[in-house]
Structure 1
């Protein structure tokens, strides 16, 4: 069997890394022939890939919506075509897309789905959205995750030394603004560090009202911080775009034993059983209450951490 992957990004791109590249060694181990490359921009690059991999069993397109011309080209060369997405790709982070452009994107997604064999999506919201527009087979495939070996020990919690972590891309950094006033006030009452890890070279110290330490993202830095930190934050506004998010940040936190604190938006509600393996916040008051209870010693952090690890291992393990 041979599978061709056309990805949205390279191995360091979060979505491509965990929805494509982490599988490749497993496929190779099972004797499956793999060809993986970023979705090319130029026609001749696409044609070259098609000729090189003529009659491959599966073409797997990750998140990039092909033109109708590309779809016709791919159908001429590949036996089966699969499309995978894990975001509300018909809209944008800031929702500043305009209804006409949005409807055009939806039309492109529908056209794609109608002309291929299978669509994989990351959560039930994305599934329900697409199901309205096509009869093509759709399956929900949450993003699997295995914590690095160095992070598989039981997490130790000492209230005098708590590190609170946010990991994410520069495009999502402003979501932290939702909780910045509360976090700034809580820092005045309790002793904790806020650590931000993103793909910017640096962030000005006055970017947020709270004090923070910044680390530029790399795989090694990410793994190190997931081991050293105790609480993971995932604030989100409640809108069409964020409902399409598949909670991967939260999955990472929980798998590594961090206490996940997340907005009760979209897939977060399916990931966390509030108070059992993490915490859900509907507003800033909830956040303040949770942090206060943590530092008052009224929450068994070790038990919640172990429950989180157990859940992610059961549902999202490779």
Structure 2
């Protein structure tokens, strides 16, 4: 069985890496041969979230579009198209409609509320090019729709009854706790935030909370992925450049993880993945009490949920000062991921979806 996987982003993007690429070895063991074609190159993926450079972005984009159209000549080689988010980030659904006209089954996967108007700060000038109705049209002609949480599933079922929730998972043999975690650095515990330029504003909104806690307890705030220099008044900040090859190590250098979000529909479409990564590495986490975080975290049992600045401050402080609580969350959080959010659980489910989509077609 041969599958063509189309993603707008390369493996450097978490979506492609964790919704597609990490499954390839298991799928191959089940006789499913997957070829991945990303729209963005690695270099363009780095460029696209930088402010400005619109002429350069436009010229490179046109070249990438021409390259993407060449997949239409390859479709006869495949039994199925596994589409993550969209074949091309903006514009008409030329690729998707061509695939559907060929009668090739599509398994459509998305893990964000891409049907809502949300554009990065770096690209707001071209926000008018984003068509939020595109996901609904793709969903309608997909053979099977796979989503990362039930909020997304409820949207997808408006247009297609064949929808399955497969949470974003991790390989728990890679994302695993390091030995000797409780040997805290002399500068105090490390509170970690790991994200991207598009999510950094959530951490900025916590500046007052972090300053308040830092006034009473010594800790270092480790920040990775902000995309710009980070300074919070009254808080000791360590900035670390994100690198794919050091991803697991980065989570494992944190003693407490924070995962702030706003309470809105865009956040409800998120899949709680940073909480999952922290917990897989045995890092106690405080997360926004929003969306799927409420399913992943049982407040006070395997982590903390917070809704107000007071709750954020109190719960971060409890973890900073209580080693036994950190140990409790470390073990319980890891167990949650192993039981519900590991490849061991999700890979067989995904393989079955792909196989059945082809079986129905034939």
Please state which band the TM-score falls in when normalised by the shorter chain: 0.7 to 0.9
- SS of the residue corresponding to residue 151 of structure 1 reads coil
Number of the residue aligned with 2:351: none
Match of 1:138 among 158, 163, 167: 163
Change (3 A) 1:299 1:285: farther
- SS of the residue corresponding to residue 34 of structure 1 reads strand
User: Is 1:175 aligned with 2:202?
Assistant: yes
Counterparts in 2 of 1:85-124, with a 5 A limit?
Answer: 85-93=110-118, 105-106=132-133, 108-124=134-150
With normalisation by structure 2, the TM-score equals 0.78
Number of the residue aligned with 1:20: 20
Contact preservation (8 Å) 2:270, 2:291: yes
Contact preservation (8 Å) 2:107, 2:144: yes
- SS of the residue corresponding to residue 215 of structure 2 reads helix
Q: For structure 1, which runs of at least 5 residues remain unmatched after alignment?
A: none
1:179-205 Cα offsets, whole Å, 9 max, x none, are 2111112112112111001163x514x
- SS of the residue corresponding to residue 171 of structure 1 reads coil
- SS of the residue corresponding to residue 302 of structure 2 reads coil
Deviation at 1:71, TM superposition (A): 2.7
1:5-39 Cα offsets, whole Å, 9 max, x none, are 00121111111110011112222333322211113
User: Is 1:165 aligned with 2:186?
Assistant: no
User: Is 1:253 aligned with 2:275?
Assistant: no
Match of 2:238 among 209, 213, 216: 213
Match of 2:106 among 73, 81, 87: 81
1:287-306 Cα offsets, whole Å, 9 max, x none, are 12112323443852112110
RMSD: 2.8
Contact preservation (8 Å) 1:293, 1:299: no
In structure 1, C-alpha distance between the alignment counterparts of 2:174 and 2:266, rounded to whole Å: 33
- SS of the residue corresponding to residue 35 of structure 1 reads strand
1:98-138 Cα offsets, whole Å, 9 max, x none, are xxx799523x2222212221111110111112223x13411
Q: For structure 2, which runs of at least 5 residues remain unmatched after alignment?
A: 41-61, 344-362
Range with bigger deviation, 282-291 or 155-164: 155-164
In structure 2, C-alpha distance between the alignment counterparts of 1:169 and 1:10, rounded to whole Å: 15
Match of 2:83 among 61, 78, 90: 61
Number of the residue aligned with 1:31: 31
1:123-167 Cα offsets, whole Å, 9 max, x none, are 0111112223x1341111111102454834566335763111111
Change (3 A) 1:170 1:13: same
In structure 2, C-alpha distance between the alignment counterparts of 1:211 and 1:181, rounded to whole Å: 14
Match of 1:310 among 335, 343, 355: 335
In structure 2, C-alpha distance between the alignment counterparts of 1:290 and 1:307, rounded to whole Å: 17
In structure 2, C-alpha distance between the alignment counterparts of 1:135 and 1:31, rounded to whole Å: 28
User: Is 1:268 aligned with 2:293?
Assistant: yes
Contact preservation (8 Å) 1:199, 1:217: no
Deviation at 1:84, TM superposition (A): 0.7
Number of the residue aligned with 1:288: 313
